[in-house]
Amino acid sequence: MAAMPYPVGTTTNDAGHLEIGGCDVIELAREFGTPSYLFATAEMRERARAYQRAFAAHTDHFEVLFASKALPVTAAYRLFAEEGLSVDVASGGELTMALTAGFDPARIYMHGNNKTDAELVLAGNSGVGHLIVDSFDEIDRCERVLKRKQDVLIRVTPGIKPSTHSFIQTGQLDSKFGFGLEDGTAAKAITRVLASDTLNLVGLHFHIGSQIFEIEPFRLAVEALGELRGDWCSILDLGGGLGISYDEADSPPPIEEYVNLKVQAVRDVFGDEVKILIEPGRSLVGTAGVTIYRIGTVKEIPGVRTYVAVDGGMSDNLRPMLYDAKYTAVIADRPDDPAGTTVTVAGSHCESGDILIRDVELANPRVGDILLTPATGAYGHSMSNNYNGMPRPPVIFCEDGEATVVVRRETWDDLLRRDM
């Protein structure tokens, strides 16, 4: 079981079933149905604590922000607030969930490359601690709609392209995000904000991408931003990006190594007194979550392939279609049986590209089996959709053998509620 990216503490019980957070997966499927998102909350808490321990070993000047786009669920906001994290939101909706969950507005950092007037007004009226400004148009909007002095950071694209999928690279000059370093617009933005009566410039921000294993680009990005430093810069937000294991082949660096590099890079360029912020999302919740499905069809095409169709697909996990993301799977009814049958796991949608996993080894899959895909905790729920009229799955938190539904399953009636 060590090779699979299960949540920490996952076991096989006496009935031969997988247990997540002390809960029998097969019993959860019977009680709550499939597909369902299951989370081991103990792992979410431990990952948050691991980040804080790693920083505390070096400095008191830090904040760990939950990048809430990875799992925008009120219960997740509440959990990470309890763990002492701050939060990164990127829309009025995420801000509303963070406030509803009880986050101190002073610990909320609001992102977004095209914040609307309504979102900026909500942020200002709510007392959001920091805005990350992304464009000259946004600076103008802030000055027009904000009624109080607002602390801001400037988002900079440092010209660094890490090794990851092009769709989740965000630090290169050719990006919809931020002010370019190479073309001089970042320096112009600093001058512009320093002259503002409404905005109080306190720091810089960058985010070079997601699902990153090679951490040296983070050092290069910090060094690149060094040319912008000034007495006004008391905060440096280094974004997120640390990758996770989606299958047996992935080998992300430990949190401690990732944090150590970032702290040392900031010290080398900006000194000891600058507060360091990071924005983990995927690495907080990704491997804490799994998705369970029920197999409905096993279709063998002799000499070609065997398709295993499940009762979900691109409506609950869009990442394989967007990024060609790789996952693995296991039959949760008998996880310790030898996996000797090569299959392609297909969804139930009217798209030939609705493929969750290609060429995965399973233990003799049968109709009615519960198929579990690990490492779906990040972006599964947040990217879920109603394609083909599919109701979205529930989110279930599992801890110490207790399962709690924190987002209920949608129904067919729910699909009609907004129709006029």
User: Known catalytic residues?
Assistant: 350
Q: Where are the beta strands (DSSP E) in 206-253?
A: 235-237
Q: Give the C-alpha separation, 112 to 332, whole Å.
A: 39
Burial (CB count <10 Å: 0-12, 13-18, 19+), residue 30: exposed
Q: Residue written as tokens 């804490």?
A: 288
Token representation of residue 209:
């991408």
- The one-letter amino acid code at 66 reads F
Q: Where are the beta strands (DSSP E) in 127-249?
A: 130-133, 150-157, 179-180, 199-205, 235-237
Q: Give the C-alpha separation, 209 to 131, whole Å.
A: 20
Rg (CA), the chain: 22
- For residues 194 and 257, the answer to whether their CB atoms sit within 8 Å is no
Strand partners, 40: 398
β-bridge pairing 62-67 and 402-407: unpaired
Q: Is the peptide bond before 35 cis (omega within 30 degrees of 0)?
A: yes
